[in-house]
Chain A
Amino acid sequence: MKRLKFFAIFLALAMVAAACGSDSDDTTTTTGSAPPAATTTTTGTTPPTPTIPDAEPGEIVVMAKWGASGGEGAAFLQVLDAFTAASGIDVNFVGVGDQLPTILSTQVAGGQPPDVAVLPQSGLLNDLVSLGALFPIETAAGDEMDAHFSPAWRELGSVDGTLYGVFFKVANKSTVWYDVNAFSDNAITPPATWADWVSVSGDLLDAGVTPVAVGGADGWTLSDWFENIYLRTAGPETYDQLSRHEIPWTDQSVRDAFETMGEIIGNDDFVARGLSGALQVGFGDSVKLVFGDSPEAAIVYEADFVEGVILNETSAQPGTDFDFFAFPSIGGSDPGYTLTGGDVAVVLKDNPEAMALVEYLATPEAAEIWAALGGFSSANKDVDSSIYATDLGRRAVEGMVNATAVRYDMGDIMPSAFGSTGGSGFWGGLQDWLENPSDLDNVLATMEAEAAAAFE
């Protein structure tokens, strides 16, 4: 008995010793937990990239939602490595997954945020600005932004005209992915208009192929459907009004868009596993329902990152098994309208190293590193498009670059409590609609109430 107690105490002490020692043992690109203000002489390596302000090489902490050891994390680490090589500034990368808003808000409230964070939604950027947590990056990255990005992207990263964020990784959200063989077997060509899509769906159904798979368990997939449709039925200006809540969710334009949407995904026969079944299917599974070994549908709509999912999780091949068509125009809308989303890098601690990093992320060189690895799109006009890893990826980027009008994912712009919270607000409302499309009035009323609360 006594021996056990002593052993326990000894063990505890050993733990303490080991734990204190182990903090410096990690494999992300860092040489130890040196405090950011540590001064070491610059090593004199001339950075090939644009001038990095006189930064004292210290270490900065960068937080993103890409897990440090997942595919995206590994790719981002390569970008950060290149930055370190060019600037001498060490980076400690922390990948926190979906919990990023929680972790970040905890650390901001607790007074110890990371130096730089890559936010998955620009609505989060707005919220952080209103908390006073972000620092303007005009001096550091303004020129780069003007040189390489269209004004739309600068605006998205700004609040009241002040630039706070650089959109590093973006996504074309107007790509509809389809089973090449299902189409060719049934002599179907990718539809250019919504009406065509409805009729194509009917043809597929007649041939015994369920047209569309929808990942209804994840509300955001439904929100992307809605946004693409609304952009086309209501036009870009009205789209902006809705995203700023200048018109209510009960507006006729919203109702029209829902009813159009219902022509395909409100039709129980058109959706794999029916509407209630679709509500149980997550996004990843919805892709597998089309491109996996036991397909149950021929078409799935989501952003260009679908390509990555297909390549990682199924054995379908680009071109021969899967391809995409641009989200069709509706009622004569401009076929060049494109919906986008993206991850934006912001600065939470005002120091030259952090500023140097966001400046670097605005350069084409930084984007090209990840682009070459695949699963990445950049809005940077000066990225050499031949560097993209796949043909399909290139086409998706070109769709964005050549778009006649670009709009950002509405759910990501709006206050996150309404626009990007699972199970409620925008996403939840769409799920309620999918469960019962005829209950539209109720759904819209609830959404309007929740939006009103979130926007005040």
Chain B
Amino acid sequence: MTATTARAESASGGSGGGGRVQGWLRKRVVQIVLAVIALFWLVPGIGLFVTSLRPVESFGDNGWWSAFTHPAEFTLQNYSEFLGDAQLLRSVWNTVLIAVPATIFPVFLAAMAGYALAWIPFRGRDTLFLIVVAMLVVPLQMALIPAFQIFNFLSLTGIPAVWVFHTAFGLPFAVFLMRNYYAGLPDSLMEAARIDGASEWTIFSKIVLPLGWPALASLAIFQFTWTWNDLLVALVFAGNSRPFTVEIQNRLGEFSSGIGIIAPGVFIGAILPVAIFFAFQRYFEAGLLGGSVK
């Protein structure tokens, strides 16, 4: 380790001469690299977006970039057809009705289970955790028929059935994530709380839950998005309360590629997940947790 003094200074945010220039350059390079990566990431989506603004007949004639040389071609027709369809809009509402509880339930249950598996000692705890994680393996297709039978038995149909199924299949990953995250919390904190005589519930709700927000938030985002975009589970269990994915699928003509309806549907459908992302990502901010450890 050479030039320790210079390095130490730069760690605290700035120094003289070479260190500063180096830091500045590095920062610029990082910015550029990330900007390029972001651009590449966006391009495929941009392709579909431009396609959604083109008339249906032009798909398959030429690539979406040719739309820019024929600007008159741009049309909002695909979108207006989508938005003008009352049934389709109703199905978007159905999707909300499905996705919100199907997110809240597993997240909440996983937080509780994760905490217990991380910090409440009981016999067989670790084995139980591993079994839960092992369930990540089970493909949901295999559970369709047994679940159908159980729902029949309970006379549970429609949207609530979809909630239960999504909760079940969201749990393994959720528990996995939350338990591992909670396990990383400092022992000292837990010890202190216990010594203070706090009950498990108090520890959970007042300490662990707030500290676990980043993980909880990212979990919520993914669970929400997954259930929001689901097609198969809703197709099998939702009955007449079709979410927009099923509704779009219904409209695909028998032989067309369906881009004319899928393209606007994709972007309209992405609005809510993106909004949720924005709502929850604040909780990732580093500063939030800095002092709360005390």
Contacts and interface: CB of A to CB of B under 8 A. Distances in A.
Interface of A: 1, 8, 11-12, 15-16, 18-20, 22-23, 25-28, 30, 33, 65-73, 92, 94-97, 99, 103, 106-107, 109-112, 282-285, 287-288, 292-294, 305, 308-309, 312-315
A113 B230 CA distance: 23
B96 to A, nearest CB: 8
Given A282-B257, A314-B57, A69 B250 contact: yes
A409 B131 CA distance: 49
A293 B210 contact: no
A25 B239 CA distance: 11
A294 B101 CA distance: 49
Contacts of A16: 101, 160
Given A23-B241, A305-B255, A1 B210 contact: yes
Question: Lowest 5 A-B CB distances belong to which pairs?
Answer: A67-B250, A110-B148, A19-B159, A26-B240, A284-B255
Given A23-B239, A23-B240, A103-B235, 11 more contacts: A19-B97, A19-B158, A23-B157, A27-B90, A30-B240, A106-B148, A109-B149, A288-B61, A293-B58, A294-B62, A314-B57
Contacts of A96: 235, 250
Interface in B254-269: 254-257
Interface in B213-262: 232, 235-236, 239-242, 247, 249-257
Contacts of B144: 106
Contact of B253 (A8, A23, A70): A70
22 contacts: A1-B209, A11-B104, A12-B101, A12-B104, A18-B97, A19-B97, A19-B158, A23-B159, A23-B239, A23-B240, A67-B250, A70-B250, A70-B254, A95-B250, A103-B235, A110-B148, A110-B149, A112-B148, A284-B256, A293-B58, A308-B253, A309-B253
Nearest to A107: B148
B250 A28 contact: no
B252 A70 contact: yes
A70 B57 CA distance: 18
B87 A69 contact: yes
Contacts of B235: 96, 99, 103
Contacts of A23: 157-159, 239-241
B-side interface mostly: helix
A179 to B, nearest CB: 16
A426 B253 CA distance: 25
Contacts of B62: 294
Interface string B141-162: 0001100110010000111100
Nearest to B97: A19
Most chain A beta-carbon contacts within 10 A, residue among B87, B88, B210: B87
A33 B240 contact: yes
A315 to B, nearest CB: 6
Given A15-B100, A106-B145, A22 B241 contact: yes
A293 to B, nearest CB: 5
Given A23-B159, A28-B240, A312 B253 contact: yes
A103 B141 CA distance: 11
Contacts of B249: 67, 97
Given A92-B240, A106-B148, A70 B56 contact: no
B57 A110 contact: no
Given A23-B158, A95-B250, A285-B257, A109 B148 contact: yes
B94 interface: yes
B252 A19 contact: no
Interface string B44-59: 0000000000001110
A118 B255 CA distance: 18
B13 interface: no
B223 to A, nearest CB: 13
Most chain B beta-carbon contacts within 10 A, residue among A22, A30, A107, A111: A22
B139 interface: no
A65 B255 CA distance: 12
A111 B254 contact: no
B187 to A, nearest CB: 24
Nearest to A281: B60
A26 B88 CA distance: 11
Contacts of A28: 240
Interface string B28-66: 000000000000000000000000000011101110000
Nearest to B105: A12
B252 A97 contact: yes
Contacts of A103: 235-236
Nearest to A30: B240
Contacts of A71: 253
A335 to B, nearest CB: 28
B90 A25 contact: yes
B160 A19 contact: yes
A110 B152 contact: yes
B97 A97 contact: no
Contact of B236 (A8, A20, A73, A106): A106
Contacts of B250: 67-70, 73, 95-97
Contacts of B256: 284, 309, 312-313
Contacts of B252: 67, 70, 97
Nearest to A24: B240
Contacts of B240: 23, 26, 28, 30, 33, 92, 94
Contacts of B56: 313
A67 B245 CA distance: 12
Most chain A beta-carbon contacts within 10 A, residue among B145, B247, B255: B255
A377 to B, nearest CB: 14
A376 B210 CA distance: 61
A26 B241 contact: yes
Nearest to B56: A313
A109 B145 contact: yes
A78 B76 CA distance: 30
A352 B289 CA distance: 67
B131 to A, nearest CB: 26
Contacts of A309: 253, 255-256
A99 B101 CA distance: 26
Contacts of B97: 15, 18-19, 22
B156 to A, nearest CB: 11
A70 to B, nearest CB: 5
A12 to B, nearest CB: 5
Interface in B139-193: 144-145, 148-149, 152, 157-160
A110 B147 CA distance: 9
Contacts of A293: 57-58, 61
A292 B60 contact: yes
B144 to A, nearest CB: 5
Contacts of A283: 255
Given A1-B210, A16-B101, A284 B145 contact: no
